[in-house]
Structure 1
Amino acid sequence: MSASAIEFVDVVKRYGSVTAVDTISFSIQRGELVTFLGPSGCGKTTSLRLIAGLELPSAGTVRIAGQDVSTRAAADRNVGMVFQSYALFPHMSVIENVAYGPTIRGGDKKLAIERGHEILTMLGLEGLSTRLPSELSGGQQQRVAVARAIVQQPDVLLFDEPLSNVDAKLRRRVREEIRDLQRRFNLTAVYVTHDQEEALAVSDRIIVMSNGKIAQIGTPSALYDRPSSRFVADFIGDANLIEGHVDNGRFRAEGLTLPLDMPGPDRPATISIRPERVILEKSGAGGKITHASYLGSRREYRIETVFGALLVSAPITDVAFQAGDEVGVSLPVGGYTLLVNESELPSARVSAQ
C-alpha cells in the first residue's frame, strides 16, 4: 500500500478528441502543500477535479491514502474543496455553513456544531458564527469556506484558485493565512493557480504543467533557480534566454563564454539568466542601457549586448544608470542555468520526491 497521500499513475483525461491530461504521474506526501501551476488550458484544474472525483480518469490510476479511487464519485472520497466562489449558502449562518457537511452525511448535528465552533475559534472567527456570509468580508468568507472543509477531517484539502475573488491588496495576507492553516492542521493540500508569485509563496513543491503534461516538479527555489526547460524558465518569473552552444565544457554565444558545472555533449543550447543575477559595472563595456525604470524597491534596465537583449533588476542601493549609458555586464558562476531542449525532456512520468 502506498504511503503517499495522493498518487497519480499514468493518468489520462480525454474529452472526446481533446486530451486535457496526458499520461501524468506524481505523488504527494502527507502534510505537503503542492501547487498545480500553469497557463490556462494546461490541465491543472482538470487534475484537481480528478483528485476530487468531479472527473474520472479515461485511463490510469488515482490513489488517495493508498486506496484506488479511480472509479469513485466525489461523495465517496474523503476530500474537502475550497472553490473559487467559496460556495457558501447565503441563507445559512456561518456556523450552519461550517456544520453542514458532517450533518448532511448523517453525523450528529450537535457534535458537528461543537467542532465547527472550535475550528472557527482557531481561525479567528469565533464572534462571527451567527452572521450571514453577506455580512462578512472576502477574507472572512474565505476562512469560513476553509473551516467548512476542515470540519469534515478530509484526507486531502483542495484549493481551486482560492484568491481569484480576493482584492489584490489582501492576497498576500490571505495566502499567508492559508499556508499557516495548512501547517497548523498538518493538512495535505493541493492548490491550483496561474499566479507564479502565489505558487512560490505557498508551496512545498510545485507541479508545472503545459499542454496536459508535467513540465517539471520541484520546490519553489529549485524551479526558480534551476528550471529544466525554456517553458519553465520563461513561465516562472522573468528570465533572459540566450541562444548559443555547448563546447568543451563551456557555453558559448557571440561575445559570451561561461563555464558549466554540468557540461553535457557539444550541441546547440540555451541558458536562462534571472534579471537579478546580472551584475552591472560602471566601468567597462559590453552593454548599452536602452531603458531605465525606477520601481521603488529596485531599478529595472533594458540592455543591448552583442549576445542579445537583457532585462536587469538591480537593488536600489546600486549605482543608478540612465538610458544611453555604456555599462559592463558580468554573470556570477551559478547565476545562470543550462536548459534542456524541450525534445530532450523526460516523459511525463515524473518522480515527485
Structure 2
Amino acid sequence: MRRVLTAGVTLMTVSALAACGAAGSGDEQLTVVMWGGADQKTHVEEAVEPWAEDAGVTVKQDSPSDYAKFRAQVESGNVSWDVVEVEPNFAHTACEKGWAEKLDTEVVDTSELKAEEVTDCAIPVLEYAFTIGYNTETFPGDHPTTWAEFFDTEKFPGKRGFWKYATGAMFEAALLADGVAPEDLYPLDIDRAFEKLDTIKDDIVFYETGEQQQQLVASGEAPLVQAWNGRIFSAAQEGQPVANEWNEHLLSYDQLVIPKGAPNADQAMDWMAWYVDHPEAQAGYANETGYGPITEDAVEHIDEDVLSELPTSPENAAKRAAIVDYAWWADNYDEVTERLNEWAAQ
C-alpha cells in the first residue's frame, strides 16, 4: 500500500497505460488510477475486471495517483484519467475547487455508506486503520493497548515509528495520549500535540513507506509503530513477529473521484455504482490485503481469519477511537506539514 504521496508535490507517474485482461468488445473504456503495485493489481482484478467483462468495457490503468498531474489535466482540459483513488483531504479540495465531477446519486447509491466517508464528489474505496503495531518478540506479554501507553517509554521502552506525514494520525494519537477525549479531537490542538510529541522525540523513528514501516517493527528497530493495519496483517501472514493492537485505533479510508472533464465519466460512475452494490467484490479485495470493505454487507463474504484483522469487524469497530476528519485536514494540511517538517529537522 502506498500512503506516501502528498498534494503539493509533483510526483513520478507511469506514462504508459497498461491494458488489463478485461478487454471489452466495444469502444467503451475506463482508465483507472490507483497507487500502483500489488495493491492496485489486486483491486483491479477483484473489483474492476468483473464489472468490465459484463459491461463490455476495456479497462486501462495508470499509476500512481498524482495530485499535481490530476490538477494539471483538469486545468489544461486534457484529461486522460477517468476514476482516481485519492486521500480524502485531496478529494475535499478537488471538489471545492471544481477539479472533480459531482456524483449523480441517482446512479451511485451512497445510502449504505458511512456518511463521514462520502462527499458530493467522492465515495470510499477501502477502509484502513491506524493501529498500534508491535513486535511480539519484544513484547511477548504486555504491550501498549492505548496511545497513552504507546507514549510511555519507561513502561514500554524502545523506539516508536511514525509516518512522517501530516495526515498520518500522529497528531490525533498524541492528543489521545495526552488525555483528549475522542469526541473532542477536532479541531486538533496542534500546539498541544507537538508538546506531547516532544516528550518522546528522542525515541521517534520516522518512516515514509509501508515497507519501511514493516521493517522497523519486524526487526525490532522500532518495536512499536503507529501502523497501517494491512501492513501489519501482511507481515504477520509472512511469518514476521508482529501484531495489531486494535484498541483506540483511528479509522481512515481512501476515496474514488472522477476528474472534471474525464472522457469516460459515465462509465466511471457506472463502475462506482456496481462496486457499492457488489459486496463480494469488496470482500475479495479485503481478503487479499487486510484493508476493509466499504459496506456492512461485505462482512459476510470475508474469510474469518481475515475479518479479525479488519476495522470492519464488529469487535474491532467497537474499539475505534475516532474517524479521521479529512475536511479539517483539507483546510489545515499545508500549515501543519510545514510545522512538522521544521519540528522533525530540529
Q: Given the two structures, how large is their TM-score scaled by the length of structure 1?
A: 0.20
Q: Of Structure 1 and Structure 2, which has the larger fraction of its residues in strand? A: 1
Larger relative contact order (C-alpha < 8 A, sep ≥ 6)? 2
Highest CA radius of gyration, 1 or 2? 1
Q: Given the two structures, how large is their TM-score scaled by the length of structure 2?
A: 0.21
